[in-house]
Amino acid sequence: MNGTQSTDTTLKRSSVGIDLFAVIATFGAYFCMYMYRKPFTAASYETMTAFGMAYKPVAVISQVLGYTLSKFVGIKVISEAGAKHRVLYYLGMIGIAEVALLLFGLTPSPWNLVWLFMNGLPLGMVFGLVLAYLEGRVRTEALTAGLCVSFVVADGVAKTSGAWLMEKGVPETWMPAATGAMFLPGIFLFGWMLSKIPGQSEEDIALRSKREPMDKAQRRAFFGKFAVGFSLLIAMYSLVGVLRGVRGDFAKEIWAGLNTKVDPALFSQTELIVAFSCLAIIACLVLIRDNEKAFGAGLLLSGFGLSLILVSLIGLQGGWINPFYFVVLIGLGLYLPYIAIHATVFERLIAYTREKATIGYLMYLADATSYAMLVGLLFYKNLGTAKAEQILPSFLALSWFVAIACLLMLPPTWLYFRKKRRLAEGQA
């Protein structure tokens, strides 16, 4: 079921108003999810160790391992999930995550780390469930950009909320569960709103193709047909995702390396600027009606973002960008390609090829690769034993590598899909 529901229980799709409702519902649903995933990163856990290593990096790795496994599971679960069960899946996954955080507070360290793994396991599939309500629409770029803004803003708000609770005396190990408890009303409210979003209209299907669940054979067929180009897209997305993960999970240490005192509100301030800048830029792509041109524009915008990363690095090194603007600029640079691939590149690829596929399948294949790479990096760079002052140099080196490598991959990616399109037109 792609989303057609009885009109007595859902809103009728009749105007831009339904799109606004959908953005609010999906933004809120995913924003609240972050309050179960990221608050623990606001703590330093300086007095705790885990098997002879610094506690916090091992905690980050524990949750990322669960999140990574979730992405591989999600390739099947998300691509096959019908609209009828999505809200129940959403509420169930959040419930499991909160129980895991409660057990994290109850269990002595370092054995409580297993509960961070269990916390990440369901949460990794939430994005695909929420995204499914927005794909294949006339205004999918604007809608998905609004959704993606949620995880940029929520990352900062989760840290701010966690830091605020600790300032009020909540212990570090209980702070994540306390943060989640504060947002439970929002989970139920936005879950209800998700259930009221109607499916694709006839116009949506005509312009963007019909989106239905995919079985294993259909997933294999799609990947096989576009293996080279899709692999390049996955590689670019994965590298940017790794950089995003390090920036988010070690934000406190990066600020310390920049010799900047971290005020709880600082996390939210930088991410709000990044989020709404990305929203304003990417939402404009909805104005491009031609799907192939919009696909190319998404790649071009990704290149612009990657160039901003290089500008931020050069500016920091040259001393003409201060730490605040460096964090903002590098955040904008990495989130532009990250969200462009979410909102435009995958969406328009399906739309102009008219192949049977869903964004959820493409996203989870890419996400699984990205998180696997992030776990590998965390171990390879020994971030589990790294001191706070060692994080910034690793982050800067990674930023240089990601920006240059992805910029080099953009031209062959565009040429590959352009050639595929021309061959398909010649055979038609």
The whole-angstrom separation of Cα 354 and Cα 351 is 5
The predicted structure's pLDDT at residue 410: 96
Dihedral angle sign, alpha carbons of residues 314, 335, 162, 368: negative
Question: Tens digit of pLDDT per residue, the chain (428 long)?
Answer: 344 343 334 444 446 788 889 999 999 999 999 999 989 988 888 888 888 888 888 898 899 899 989 999 999 988 888 777 889 999 999 999 999 999 999 999 899 999 999 999 999 999 999 998 988 888 888 888 788 778 778 888 898 899 999 999 999 999 999 999 999 999 999 999 999 998 888 888 888 888 888 888 989 998 898 999 999 999 999 999 999 888 887 888 888 888 887 676 777 788 889 888 988 888 888 888 888 899 999 999 999 999 999 999 999 999 899 999 999 999 999 999 998 997 889 988 888 888 888 888 888 999 899 888 888 887 776 655 556 667 888 899 999 999 999 999 999 999 999 888 777 666 65
Q: Is residue 417 part of a domain?
A: yes
Phi, then psi, of 319 in degrees rounded to 5? 85, 10
Q: Is residue 10 part of a domain?
A: no
Strand partners, 50: 53
Helix (H, G, I), strand (E, B) or coil at 384: coil
Confirm whether pTM is higher than 0.85. Answer: no
**Both structure tokens of 222:** 């799609």
Residues 6+ positions from 425 with CB-CB distance below 8 Å:
none
The whole-angstrom separation of Cα 101 and Cα 96 is 9
Q: Is residue 5 part of a domain?
A: no
**Both structure tokens of 291:** 């799907």
Q: Residue type at 388?
A: A
Q: Is residue 11 part of a domain?
A: no
Phi, then psi, of 292 in degrees rounded to 5? -70, -40
Q: Is residue 9 part of a domain?
A: no
Dihedral angle sign, alpha carbons of residues 155, 156, 158, 163: positive
**What mean pLDDT, rounded, does the chain reach?**
87
**How many folded domains does the chain comprise?**
1
Q: Is residue 8 part of a domain?
A: no
Q: Is residue 1 part of a domain?
A: no
The predicted structure's pLDDT at residue 335: 92
92-143 confidence digits (pLDDT tens): 999 999 999 999 999 998 999 999 999 999 999 999 999 989 888 888 888 8
Q: Distance of alpha carbon 256 from its chain centroid, rounded?
A: 25
Exposed/middle/buried for residue 9 (C-beta within 10 Å: 0-12, 13-18, 19+)? exposed
Buried-exposed string 152-180: b where 16+ CB fall within 10 A, e elsewhere: bbbbbbbbbbbbbbbeeebebbbbbbbbb
The predicted structure's pLDDT at residue 187: 97
Q: Is residue 28 part of a domain?
A: yes
Measured from the Cβ of residue 86, the count of other Cβ atoms closer than 10 Å reads 22
The CATH number of whichever domain residue 312 belongs to comes to 1.20.1250.20
The predicted structure's pLDDT at residue 10: 44
Q: DSSP letters of 146-214?
A: HHHHHHHHHHHHHHHHHHHHHHTT--TTTHHHHHHHHTHHHHHHHHHHHHT-----HHHHHHH------
The predicted structure's pLDDT at residue 88: 93
Measured from the Cβ of residue 190, the count of other Cβ atoms closer than 10 Å reads 24
The whole-angstrom separation of Cα 316 and Cα 325 is 9
The predicted structure's pLDDT at residue 143: 85
The predicted structure's pLDDT at residue 299: 96
Residues 6+ positions from 111 with CB-CB distance below 8 Å:
none
Q: Distance of alpha carbon 365 from its chain centroid, rounded?
A: 13
Q: Residue 322: left (phi > 0), alpha (psi -120 to 50), or beta?
A: beta
Q: Which domain holds residue 138?
A: 16-427
Helix (H, G, I), strand (E, B) or coil at 47: coil
The predicted structure's pLDDT at residue 389: 67
Is residue 13 within 8 A of residue 121, CB to CB? The reply is no
Exposed/middle/buried for residue 42 (C-beta within 10 Å: 0-12, 13-18, 19+)? buried
Measured from the Cβ of residue 411, the count of other Cβ atoms closer than 10 Å reads 11
Question: What's the full length of the chain, in residues?
Answer: 428
